[in-house]
Amino acid sequence: MSIDGDPRDPVYRPGPAPLRSHLPILGGTLEYVDNPLATMTRRYRDHGPVSELSFLGATWTALLGPDACQIALQNADKAFANGPGWGYLVGPFFDRGLMLLDFAEHHHYRHLMQEAFTRPRLEGYARTLAPLVESGISGWTPDSAFEIYPALKSHTLDLATEVFMGGAEYARPGEIERVNTAFVDCVQAANGYIRSTAPLPFTKWGRATRGRRLLEEFLRRHLPARRANPGEDLFSALCQVADASGGIDDDDIINQMIFLLMAAHDTTTSTVTSMVYELGRDREWQERCRRQCLELGPSPTLAELEGLTDLDLVMKEALRLHPPVPVLARRAVKDTEVLGVKIPAGRLVSVMLLMSHHMPEYWTDPELFDPERFTEGRREDKSHRYAWEPFGGGVHKCLGMIFANLESKLVLSALLRHFEWSVPLDYTPPMKNDSLPFPGDGLPVELRPLSPVRAG
């Protein structure tokens, strides 16, 4: 069967039925893990915006380009569900987290959890985070090959533990390190080939099963203290909401905490790592951002962080080039269609947002790092309503995106005030794509202390 037209043509229309990939069961998986963007680009070129592929032992419908992604994310006919989509990948490990709830239940929990992300609470988080970020970043030791990714990952977990839990004063020796490992194991289970929740040794799902148990025990042990002595942290807020409304029981408080801790430190780590990489290759933008950050000092408020316009442009561009979550999972809960292609009930659906961020139809020189594309005079992100969606879209758009922005800006502003760094222009980090993408070599940068004169 042929598909008429060139998918890059703005008047392109898909054929009447999806074209199935003839790769073997693991072929689609291995191709994606090797290079997600190249895989998506080839698929869009050869099969159009809607096609079938084999991935992790199941048949998926791939949605590519903002037109196809918009239909699934807006979900006007309620044909797509998050829970059974993400559930196939990481359901046992982030079970009943907000991302895995749907329709009325999702609305109920989202409404309750919005209390944790009101502006007064965000202002409080900024006050809490600023000195922690300052002390953590300023203590780094410069190195000609400083591995920025693991350093950031450890730091953002410490920040998330403090802001969301009010600290981990009851943690046992070495437990925070084990918690960090447990989160990594749960996230990396997404692309496990052996998908059994039995704790089989030497398998991703086995490690994630053990990690989930550790996280549950860790949080359950802290819960009574947060209920008895509530603070300004998210854990306390969820306990208070549960007691006041009866809308969340202890098990679901723990479920939401596991999901939010993962989202807070994994996605922020990815965003900041990408910003460090791009600024290390572009000294002009690094200096532009540094000048603004030096004016604020070590304890910027939420309003002052929002005023870091250059850093905001850099963050948006880094999120375009390197979105922390390049693909979203859904499952069709009834027969439906996207751009004229039928999708049967029960079909797993992959909403491949990454490719929309790199399409020349919507972005000028899309592989070029160009933060000014987001300035008011250009606003290339407005070329299509769904051309830029690093936080997802529709009712499932990330609830914590403002918190993620303020944390990312706090960490970058501290880095810019204490250090300068560079990355060779011919260096491309070897990305691991078997979960959320991360640099397999830790992304070494030449980290140098900022001179006292420049630091002010």
The whole-angstrom separation of Cα 224 and Cα 220 is 8
398 is in an annotated binding site: yes
CA distance 431 to 17: 34
Angle at 149 between CA 145 and CA 153, to 5 degrees: 140
Any long-range contacts for 203-207 (C-beta under 8 Å, 24+ apart)?
Answer: 205/92
The SS3 assignment for 386 reads coil
| C-alpha to C-alpha distance for 233 and 260, rounded to whole angstroms | 12
DSSP string, 169-236: TTPPTTHHHHHHHHHHHHHHGGG-SS--SS--TTSHHHHHHHHHHHHHHHHHHHHHHHHHS--SSHHH
As a whole number of angstroms, the distance between CA 55 and CA 62 comes to 10
Q: Which residue has the tokens 């306390």?
A: 236
Q: Which residues contact 305 (CB under 8 A, 6 or more apart)?
A: 126, 405, 406, 409, 410, 413
Listed in sequence order, the residues at least 6 apart from 221 whose beta carbon sits closer than 8 Å to its beta carbon are: 170
One-letter identity of residue 184: V
> What are the binding residues?
398
> What are the binding residues for heme?
398
